[in-house]
Structure 1
């Protein structure tokens, strides 16, 4: 059938084919222009490549809440030799950031001086429902005399904050200790509204800010970096001894963007220069070079527009991967001109007709290989699949439609390159037939032993942190800042769930001892929980009942012991009795001045947060993302942020009584969840590779006899096994990116086998074309192997090995088809 299609295509006049090709290009150009004017863009967010983890609605909301609160935040530490300079430098830095026009950051702050006062004012009416753990223990054990003694000592302390008004409403001064207990214990101090950390004779002031737009947006990224650079220059000019260190996603994103841009230009330029050198070496003519460049340009146009049509955006890393398209799309030009060089009497149209079957099968296998990559859970890798598949289709159509008219000029008569190709094939034939049975057996045993050793030692590692590796300086500075912030907050957090508000708060209270133990054991640096601020009704009632021992019959004697006027007793008792039905409620606290900063940690059912969800839906609609489902979040939840995690497995084991069997606590670890999905898709991709090999064998057996079909498929199969064996020997852990690269080893490698099978005995032109194709492909993917991005490096290295082995093995098909010399 494929021959009939070739005949039908060749019957169309070259001028009509060329006109069709031009029409397609013009249509694509207008389509691309329309897409760009209507929101198509370049995406630089590395998170856009990550798999989408399916979670329950409450967990999804928690993840979105954490990401929205922590994303785009930067942390700046200004290290000085004394406190005065650290405070002044921080204020100068904050002023400079605030004065930037247009503004790149908002929520610029250090310490909130008003929060303590706001908390004190809010909780005071509920003082009879509050007790610290120490106060609860003292009252439970009837230690009133000791509490009275502590109060008396406090009254005589010159630095005590007690005043007459507070004493008349809280005679044992319990309330100040309750407020102090709510403040997280850390090494930070506050001076003039600035957070300070003192260590080793130096003082570090901490400044925090949130980017107005995403740090992964190129324009916002540049604006934020410019604003920061200006603030740093202004501050260091005035305070020359200040050292400034930074932390935040912005700096990782900027480094990734810069790396990707450099690699796009470097890899693309070197690949292009290499292709030009190959074409000139082979054909010594300017026309093949121009036609090759035209093929690449057309392929890139198809790739770009095809990707934008499907995704409406193109990831920067897609362009990095996509530079390898140069080494594959050019193959069609190589095969055409090598065939013309060998058969110079054929016209361009007849040459296309002659190679049409092999080219078409090659396109089919390569496109299927790329589209198989699209089954991976990474939007970025799905883009690579569409990008490269579209580019190959563009190059193929250029060969079929444009070459018959544009590539008719004669080639130089020298066939030196074909002679070299023939000599190389002859050498392989003599080598293969010159091996004795014993030598062949020993060689096979050595290869089998090598492969077995490598495959048995092959391990896997699906950690998503391999996707990007930031420069050492950025990582070191981030670790320093996290240390100053007592660990900061990590990617993992706890989600506590409850059927109603009070059940949730009780679950949260049961979690607190576990967190305290984890911190004391060194598993955890800190935890930010809403629990100290929102005691459950049950705990409030218990605290209220215990204070009966103060405001009941003993109140008069307590006032006498402290030295207070007994006349205030009735008012105190009335206030105590009136407080029985008053409770600290989540809604009241989270909307207060003291609690609004903690409100993002609280997750009410969707019915109570409809306005928030509608706003989220609007933003998602604007970015063309999937809206959040609104009909299943009936539980209450709260987020507990974790910082300075030193031993996650031990922490998980410690929390297991609250986690197992769908307990009220869930450890949300997006990194682990995505890594698990990567492992599943790695296994699926390798299974798909095995299926593709079987299907290819079946398809090729229709075109060739079954034995030759097996040999064609055996070439990429052996190349894959040898590549995996080497990875095992050198200790490189297998990842999804290795598996995706092996799919391409099959897709590209089987092309080489197909061309040799189609050519059979007359294969000098094929040998030359395969040599040039392999060189261009190895050049493109070999450069990817030197990428600073681990995922790209892994992808390129695997292809470098796989295509190299395929090139070495595929000519032996010529030996099979030709027979002994």
Structure 2
């Protein structure tokens, strides 16, 4: 088939091929312009590239609602030695954000006083169904007199909230305590409508300080570049106002916005720096090798065409480009230019050959190289990461663009002959002769010892390999941002984590009973320091069973001992009839999920409740938010025996999926090696095909051994990079296998290709993002080993290393 394609190309004029290439460039450019005009964008949301986890519909709904509730929220702390100064800074910030013309934030608040009033408005009419644990225990023991005595003490307390209106409806003042019990215990206080926390003394700050807390929700996703800029600008304006008012205020921040902004800035810097340095390195390499502007110009055209095809095809298929794709994609510069290197090195070796003849000579090798590289990238695309799928499409389509440029444009653009460059060719020849004659031992015993040492090195290294599939490798967070977030989370008693509990049941009542039974377990977990805090609807939605129990217990007050209570408290006896009527009228008027969540008091809790969405769907669910988790595994064990309580850990679930696909990717690598070996058998025969495949296979094993010995835990990104070690490294083997006796030009091309690839991927190894670092480091090691091993193929393809 290669010969057929080669004949078709040779029968087509260079002018027609060049016209076809220009048409392809024009169509690609127009397609790209249309895509960007129609809303294509660069995506920086790290969640957009995570794999999809197969969960039940109820679990998926729960995760969506938790994300919707917690997403895009920012938390601000204004720390000062003066309590009033902190409060003033918080108020000024809220005013600044509220009058922001761009409306970057909504739901800007500190202490929600309206929420407290709404809770009071809703629960007062249900006071006969409410009791605190202490009140319930006393009434169960028939000790209503103690409640009467407690009410007397409140009546004579100068700071008591008791008044005649409240006493006429609640003579023992039970309701205020029930209302206060709804609020979860926390270290925060409220002054002047602002949440205040006390910052504990430290070595640098020996005196306690005060932190005023402000919360806001972004009007759009923090990962949307435009919304991100708008939100950061609004915050910057507010902070500037605060600093003008009080320069001593310390501002601490937490929220996805600040992580996303740091990731965006980091990715932009790496795209520009890595891409620029890679391009400069490649240009320098071409100039040093050929000492001519023409190869340099052709190299730039090849790389530019490759990147154009990559960007447009990826945007066409996905509708957007992820920043991580661009960071990984910068390595395409070092791969796509390989075609240029092989063309010009072959031309140097045969200066009298025409451009057409040179292309015919390398056609089989570059076609096989393209096929194996696309197979390698396709293996990456199987991973369930939209970001990795984009990388696969980006690089594969970019290589196709470079391949087409070579076949269609080079006969016209690169037709001019090159100046002699025997120095570079001679150096390549000398290096190859050194590797074959001196680097490789000649004595059988020495060769055997080298083989044993290599096998031992591989065995020891791989035996020390560990795995780490944590998805947090995907994003690098600067230490100062993380420190601020940790400090603010401490002030907020742990804040809210990504993990939560999903409680399910077949009916509303059973679900509420489950939540009630769960409460003491969670409280014990907080006491045991497994958990910082939790938020459950059990506080606000007691089961009907519990409400009925509370109602019946209060019969002691309103039906059995009301006369004694009124007399003891010195109340007007005329209120007796009204109290009894109110008590009887409240029978069977329960607090329900629909009535509570439909009231202003329950609007903010609505995301924590999952009711059936259709007549066929009979299940109910409730979400319990968790914060300050200290020991996740120990916490999970508390609910392991209860099938109706599920600890939903999206981070853990995705990490598990990553581990699965890490193993699958390594399996795909083995399969790719097998398939490549079968394909190469038809071209080279079984023996040489096995040797060609053995070079990248041995390189992969040596790379894994190095990772193990240096204690770099194996991740999915190492595995994906090993696929590329095969896809790129097998090209070197192919060119040596195809070259037969003519190896001087191939050695120079492989050298330049390896150096350019190492420039690209070696720079990725210096990325601050662990995932990119792992990818680059693996390629750096793998390609280095492949470059060192591939020349030895000539032992099997030529009779003498000096034949050329």
Higher mean displacement: 791-800 or 109-118: 109-118
Q: Which residue number corresponds to residue 378 of structure 1? A: 385
Residue in structure 2 matched with residue 237 of structure 1 by the alignment: 244
Q: Show the 5 A alignment for 1:698-709.
A: 698-709=678-689
- Note the C-alpha offset of 1:4: 2.5
Offset at residue 594 of structure 1 (A): 1.5
1:116 matched to 2:116: yes
Contact 2:168 2:575 in 1 (8 A): yes
Secondary structure of residue in 1 paired with 2:641: helix
Q: Is contact 1:590-1:598 (8 Å) kept? A: yes
1:141 corresponds to: 141
Q: Does 1:413 align with 2:393?
A: no
- CA drift at 1:497: 1.0
Partner of residue 187, structure 2: 187
Q: Which of 348-357 and 633-642 deviates more?
A: 633-642
Note if contact 2:51-2:384 (Cα within 8 Å) is conserved in structure 1: yes
Counterpart CA distance in 1 for 2:799 and 2:473 is 48
SS at match of 2:538: coil
User: Within 5 Å, which residues of 2 pair with 1:550-589?
Assistant: 550-589=557-596
Pairwise CA distance, 1:717: 0.4
In the alignment, the residues of structure 2 paired with residue 553 and residue 419 of structure 1 have an alpha-carbon distance, to the nearest angstrom, of 111
Match of 1:516 in 2: 523
Which moves more between the two structures, 595-604 or 424-433? 424-433
Aligned pairs (5 A) from 1:281-680: 281-431=288-438, 434-607=441-614, 633-658=617-642, 663-680=643-660
Q: Secondary structure at the match of 2:195?
A: strand
Deviation digits for residues 763-789 of structure 1, max 9, x if unmatched? 100000000000000000000000011
Q: 1:256 aligned to 2:263? A: yes
Moved more, 410-419 or 804-813: 410-419
Instruction: Assess if the C-alpha contact under 8 Å between 1:97 and 1:227 holds in 2.
Output: yes
Contact 2:199 2:491 in 1 (8 A): no
User: In structure 2, what is the equivalent of residue 721 of structure 1?
Assistant: 701
- Output the CA distance in 2 between the equivalents of 1:83 and 1:367: 63
User: What is the TM-score normalised by the length of structure 2?
Assistant: 0.98
> Does 2:88 correspond to 1:104?
no
Residue in structure 1 matching 2:771, options 785, 791, 794: 791
Partner of 2:203: none
Does the 8 Å contact 2:436/2:791 carry over to 1? no
* 2:548/2:588 contact within 8 Å kept: no
Distance in 1 between the 2:462 and 2:669 partners? 17
1:202 Cα offset (Å): 0.7
**What is aligned with 2:213?**
206
- Partner Cα distance (1:229, 1:585) in 2: 44
Q: Are 2:775 and 1:768 equivalent residues in the alignment?
A: no
Shift in Å at residue 433 of structure 1? Answer: 6.3
Distance 2:47 2:121 in 1: 42
- Contact kept, 8 Å, 1:58 with 1:633, in 2: the verdict is no
| CA displacement at 1:655 relative to structure 2 | 2.2
CA contact (8 A) 2:751 2:787 kept: yes
Distance 1:35 1:88 in 2: 48
Shift of 1:793: 0.4
Distance 1:412 1:820 in 2: 29
Please, which moves more after superposition, 584-593 or 716-725?
A: 584-593
- Following TM superposition, by how much is the alpha carbon of 1:820 offset from its aligned partner in structure 2, in angstroms? 4.4
Matched, 1:170 2:177: no
Match of 2:715 in 1: 735
Q: CA deviation at 1:633?
A: 4.6
Rounded to whole Å, the distance in 2 between the matches of 1:641 and 1:432 is 63
Question: How many residues matched?
Answer: 794
Q: Is the 8 A contact 1:429 1:820 kept in 2?
A: no
Match for residue 733 of structure 2?
753
Query: 1:78·1:245 contact (CA, 8 Å) conserved in 2?
Result: yes
TM-score under structure 1 length normalisation: 0.96
- SS of 2:285's partner is helix
How far residue 199 of structure 1 moved from its aligned partner, in angstroms, is: 3.2
Alpha-carbon deviations, 1:460-510, whole Å to 9, x = none?
110101111200000000000101100000010011112121111111111
- Residue 735 to residue 165, structure 1, CA distance change in 2 (3 Å): same
Could you give the per-residue CA deviations for residues 662-715 of structure 1, whole angstroms, max 9, x where no partner exists?
A: x22111100000000000000000001001111111100000011100000000
Question: Are the aligned partners of 1:57 and 1:632 in contact in 2 as well (CA < 8 Å)?
Answer: no
Q: Deviations over 1:629-680 (max 9, x none)?
A: xx9754111111000001111111122232xxxx221111000000000000
Q: CA deviation at 1:429?
A: 2.1
Give the superposition deviation at 1:232: 0.3
Cross-structure match for 1:819? 799
Distance 1:484 1:30 in 2: 54
Q: Which position in structure 2 is the counterpart of 1:681?
A: 661
Q: Please list every run of at least 4 consecutive aligned residues from structure 1 whose deviation after the TM superposition is greater than 3 angstroms.
A: 631-634
Distance 1:819 1:634, change over 3 A: farther
CA distance in 2, matches of 1:248, 1:651: 25
Distance 2:629 2:795 in 1: 61
Quote how far apart the aligned CAs of 1:434 are.
4.7
For 1:2 and 1:87, locate their aligned partners in 2 and report how far apart those are by CA, in whole Å.
Answer: 76
